[in-house]
Chain A
Amino acid sequence: MIRIVFFFTVRDVAGRNEINDIFASNLGELLEKLIQQYPKLEKVIFADEAKRKLRPEIMIMLNGIAVRKLDAPVNDGDLILIMTMISGG
C-alpha cells in the first residue's frame, strides 16, 4: 500500500486528507492516476499541464525526502506527502 497524504490547498481541492488505493511504479504515474481520480488537482499540481511541469510551490515528500523528478521510483509501503509549499511564520 502506498500512503498518500495531502496538505494545504492540495487537501482542500481533493476534499480529503489521504488515500491509499493508488498503485504505481514511479511518481509521474502516481500523479497521473491521482489526477484521474481528482481532476481538479491537475491545475494545482502542474504549472504546464501539457509538459507536466510541477508548479514551483508544490512540494512532494517521498519517505521524508523532497522529490521533483517524475521518474522517481515508488514502492509498496512508501509514504508520500503532497502539499502546496508554505513559507510560514
Chain B
Amino acid sequence: MLKIGKDEKKCSGCRICELICAITHTGECNPKKSIVKITANFPEPGYHIEMKGCKLCGECLKYCPTKALFVRGGEGQIAEKKTVAGRESSIPGYGGKILRVDLSTGEIRTEDIQPEFAKTYLGGRGFAAKLLYDSVKKGTDPLSPENKVIMATGPLSGALCLANSKTTFATKSPLTRGYGDSNVGGHLAAEMKYAGYDAIIIRGKAEKPSYLFIDGGRVEIRDAAKYWGKGSTEAERMLKDDLGKEFQIAVIGPAGENQVYFACVSHDFGRQAGRTGIGAVLGSKNLKAVAIRGDKGVRLADQEAMTKKTKETLEWCFKQPALETWQKYGTPSVTVWANEIGALPYKNFWSEHMEDVSGLKDEVMREKIVVHDKACMNCPMACGKYSHSKKEGKYDVLVEGPEYETIALCGSNCGFGDIQDVAYLNYLCDELGVDTISTGGVIAFAIECFEKGIITKEDTEGHELKFGDVETFEYLVRKIAKKEGIGKVLADGVRLASQKFGKGSEDFAIQVKGLEWSGYGSRNALAMLLSYLTCDDGATHNRSWAITWDIEKGRELIEGKAERVVFLQHARPMFDMLGACRLLWVELGLPLEHYPEMLKTITGFDFTLDDLYKISERVWNLTRVFSIREIEGFGRAYDAPPARFIKEAVPTGPTKGKKLSMRKINKLLSNYYKLRGWTKSGIPTKRKLKELGLEFVITDIFPRKK
C-alpha cells in the first residue's frame, strides 16, 4: 500500500493536488470535491495539508511541483476513472454568467454569456474592456456612482491548467481619467469561475460601508462597518474568519476608502491589482470587499486532453533549469541585473543606477527575510516570497514581497539599500492599500521637491524629507492614505501634485498619462521607452517588456523597435484575456502555442495564435478609443515621456550620459502609429476599427459632421 509523506514547509499552496484529486476520484474539475485540502495559514506563513480519507492512488504526487507531497513507500491504488458532465454552462470553460450589482438600488441580476461575445473578446481583460466601454458614459466622473468596476476571469481559469488564476479589474481611472486596468493572481479568478461568473459589473454607491457577498448563486450586499478602516491584511483575515477560509477575498485598505487616486485592490494576503487606482473607485462606492466562493466544477470540452496536456507541461517545467531559480528567488532576481544594465531607478529617476545595490540582492533577501514560497493557483513557479522583516518593534512585520517593482520604486528609487527596510515599506503600502509603484514614485517626487525647496517644513509639519529615511516614507505614506496635509496633494499622483506645486516640479514628475513610471529606466533603451509611452494604462512595463530586445539589437537603434513593441502588446495582454499568468512563457520559455492548444481542450475553441493576437489587437484599440473618448486631446501628446528624460542625461552607471531626444521619440512614435494603422496623431483610423470589428466606436471618436 502506498505511503504518502507530506512536508508542509515545502507546500506553496498551488492546489494542483486538489484539482487532480477531484478530477481523478469524481471526474469533476472542482477543488471542493477533492479529498486533499490545502488551507492557507496567512497572515502567518505557510499552508496546512489535510489528507483524511485519501484513497492512496498517488496521482497528486505526480503533480506536486515542490515535492511537498511525496512517496514514502509502497505502490498507489489505481483510481477508478470517472467522468462527470460538470456545471451547466452554455460554453465549456466559462462560468456562463455576468453578474450585475447596483450598490445604489440593491439590484442584483445575472445575464448569460453569449458564445459570440466569448469568441470576440475571449475573457479577462477583453471582457472587462468591452463591458466598461459599453457601460460607462462619456464624461463620467471616475469617483461618481456612475463609474463601473468590472472584475473578469478568463476561459483558462478554474480548469486544470498551469498558472491560470488571473483576475482583471477595469475602470475609468481617477489617476489618468482614461482607461485603467490591473490584474491580480492568487486564487480569485478560479473561485469566480466555480461560483459561475465570468464577469462582475459593479455600479452605484452603497449608502454605508458594504461588502459584496457571493456564494454561488446567492449574492448579497452586506454591512462592512466592522471592516471599514481596517488594513487590507487585517480586513481579509477578519472576513475569512467570519465567512470561512474557502472564501476568496478582494479588499481595499484605508487608502481606497479615502479614494487615494493610486489605491489598489488586495487579495490573498499580499497580491494586488495595483495600478490605475481601482481601489479608489471601489472606495467611492463604499465597497470594502468582494468575498466569493463557489462549489461548481468547470464544464470542459475535453477533460482527458486537458489533464494529459497539463501533466506533460508540468513534466516539461520540471526539466527547465530556470524553474528552480525562479522558485528560489522570484522577481527580486531582476534587481542586480537591472542595475548592471543601467535600468534601476535611483532617487526619482535622477539616475538609472545605484552605486551599492548589495543590500537589495535576491540572495540577501532569501537569506535574511524569506520564510515561505507562495504560489498562485496551479502554478509550479511559486514566485511569491513571503517574508519576515526581522527588525524590532513596529518594523517587525510579515509581508509577501518585496518583489522587483517594489524593490525598485520603494527601494532604490527612494534611496533605500536595505531589503529589510524595503520589506517594512512594502508592508505599510499593502496594509494601507496603495500601489507600491505609484507610491514609490510619488514619495521620491516629494523628497526631491523638498530638497529643491519647492515644498518646505511648513508643508510637512516640521518633518524633514530625506531619501533613504524610513520615517520620511512612513510619514508620507500615512498622510497620503488619510489625505491629510501634504498627503492630500500627493494622493492625486505626481502629475496633479506637480501642477499644484509648480516651480519646475513638472519636469521631474515621472509619469506617462498620469500613471507613475514603473521599474525600468529607459533613457538608453528605445523599445522599452516606446513600450512605456504607448501603454494604454500609462507608464507600466507589463504590456510590453522590451528591454532585452534593446540590448540584443542595439539600444539606440530605432528600426525594428515598433514591430517588437506591437508584437509584445498583443502577446502579453493575451494572457490577461485568457486569465493566465505569463511567467511560464517569459521566464521558462514555455512555447506560446501551448495556450491556444490548452484553450481548445478547455473550451473547444479552435483558435490559432494569430487569431488570439487579433483579439488582443481588437482590445488594444478599444482601450485606446476609450481614452480618446474620455480625454480631450488624447493622442500623440499623451504618449510623451517626463521632461527629465529629455533634459537630463543619466549621471551615473552604465548608461551615463544618455538622454532622450524629441527627434528619436517622434520617429519611434511615427513608426509605431503607422504599423498600428493609426493616424499621425495616434488615433485609430476608421479603416483599422472596421477591420477589427469596432465599427460601433467610430461615431464616438469621429463625430458626424452637422
Contact = CB atoms under 8 A, between A and B. Distances in A.
Interface of A: 5, 7-9, 11-13, 17, 43-44, 56-57, 59, 61, 64-66, 81, 83-89
11 contacts: A9-B321, A9-B322, A12-B329, A43-B321, A57-B589, A59-B548, A59-B551, A86-B334, A86-B587, A89-B582, A89-B586
Contact of A61 (B551, B586, B587): B551
A86 B586 contact: yes
Q: Which of A13, A44, A88 has most chain B Cβ within 10 Å? A: A88
A59 to B, nearest CB: 7
A66 B337 CA distance: 14
Contact of B334 (A66, A84, A88): A88
Nearest to A5: B340
B542 interface: yes
B541 interface: yes
B552 interface: yes
A2 B322 CA distance: 26
B547 interface: yes
A88 B541 contact: yes
B325 interface: yes
A5 B339 CA distance: 13
A58 B91 CA distance: 41
Interface string B327-349: 01100011011001100000000
Nearest to B571: A87
A9 to B, nearest CB: 4
Contact of B337 (A8, A13, A44): A8
Contacts of A59: 548, 551-552
Q: Which 8 A-B pairs have the closest CB atoms?
A: A87-B586, A88-B545, A89-B545, A12-B325, A9-B325, A66-B552, A9-B322, A7-B337
Q: Is the interface of A mostly helix, strand, loop or mixed?
A: mixed
Given A9-B321, A64-B654, A66-B551, A89 B542 contact: yes
A6 B572 CA distance: 27
Interface string B477-505: 00000000000000000000000000000
B548 A85 contact: yes
Contacts, number: 67
B295 interface: no
A89 B548 CA distance: 12
A83 B337 contact: yes
B109 to A, nearest CB: 37
A8 B547 contact: no
Interface in B571-594: 572, 582, 585-587, 589
Contacts of B325: 8-9, 11-12, 84
Interface residues of B, number: 28
Contact of B321 (A17, A64, A84, A89): A84
Nearest to B654: A64
B328 A88 contact: no
B324 interface: yes
A9 B587 CA distance: 10
Nearest to B550: A66
B336 A7 contact: yes
Contacts of B548: 59, 85-88
Nearest to B329: A12
Contacts of B572: 89
B551 A84 contact: no
B315 to A, nearest CB: 17
Interface in B219-246: none
A44 B321 contact: yes
A65 B333 CA distance: 21
Interface in B629-657: 654
Contact of B586 (A11, A43, A44, A88): A88
Interface string B378-392: 000000000000000
Nearest to A61: B551
Given A81-B340, A87-B586, A8 B541 contact: no
B51 to A, nearest CB: 32
A12 B587 contact: no
Interface in B242-295: none
A44 B341 CA distance: 22
Given A12-B324, A86-B548, 10 more contacts: A8-B333, A9-B321, A17-B336, A64-B654, A65-B551, A83-B337, A88-B547, A89-B541, A89-B545, A89-B582
Nearest to B572: A89
A13 B321 contact: yes
A43 B589 CA distance: 15
A88 B586 CA distance: 7
B168 to A, nearest CB: 15
Contact of B328 (A5, A7, A12, A43): A12
B551 A8 contact: no
A69 B321 CA distance: 23
Q: Which of A17, A44, A64 has most chain B Cβ within 10 Å? A: A64
A43 B319 CA distance: 11
A84 to B, nearest CB: 5
Contacts of A43: 321
Nearest to B528: A88
A43 to B, nearest CB: 7
Contacts of B333: 7-8
Contacts of A13: 321
Contacts of A7: 333, 336-337, 340
Contacts of A17: 336
